[in-house]
Amino acid sequence: MDRSFSWRVFTSFGLFLSFLMILVSGLILFIFPPRTPGVMWQLLGLSKPAWQNQHIIYGFAFSILSLCHLFFINWKAFFSYVQGKTKEGLQNPRELLVIASLFLLFGFGTYFKIQPFSGILEIGKSISNSWDNKDTPAPDKRVDVHKRSRW
């Protein structure tokens, strides 16, 4: 069976896998402990900066694949939908108003630390801080530059 390469399938699987990686790395970063001097935490073989890098790169991949999905694969359907709504006018703008309101609520609620947004962030901080053993002091990493080496 000789099939040609399907960009629709490629984009769909790419979106799914990149979303999955963003979800996993986001959850790991949510619970990962904050930086502790002298201690390098790792989870599944990756440090916190490495998980952040994974999260950023897969976020870019997801964004690029989303744009390809919209503009190259589903442009006709999207354009037809927008054109139909433009001809009708915004007679029923409920959905637009609801999502715009939620978008603003999430942004301002997070910025001004309003519940439940502040609660979610506090849960993440408490999970992150629970990894640290507060009774054990971190090793002193200062170097005495005046001390002579034996070598």
pLDDT for 20 beyond 70: yes
The residue segments making up the domain with residue 102 are 92-133
pLDDT band at 139 (very low <50, low <70, confident <90, very high): low
pTM comes to: 0.67
Q: Are residues 63 and 113 in the same domain?
A: no
Residues 82 and 97 reside in one and the same domain: no
Among the listed residues 29, 42, 47, 37, the one whose alpha carbon sits nearest the alpha carbon of residue 136? 37
Q: How many domains does the chain have?
A: 2
Query: Are residues 83 and 32 part of one domain?
Result: yes
74 shares a domain with 3: yes
Confidence of residue 32 (pLDDT cuts 50, 70, 90): confident
Domain edge (last residue) among 89, 122, 145: 89
* Residue where a domain stops, chosen among 62, 89, 116: 89
Together in a domain, 55 and 70: yes
What pLDDT, on a 0 to 100 scale, did the predictor assign at position 38? 64
Q: Looking at the predicted structure, is the pLDDT value of residue 129 above 70? A: yes
142, 139, 122, 143: which is closest to 36 by C-alpha? 139
Burial profile 111-149: b = 16 or more Cβ within 10 angstroms, e = fewer: eeeeeebeeeeeeeeeebeeeeeeeeeeeeeeeeeeeee
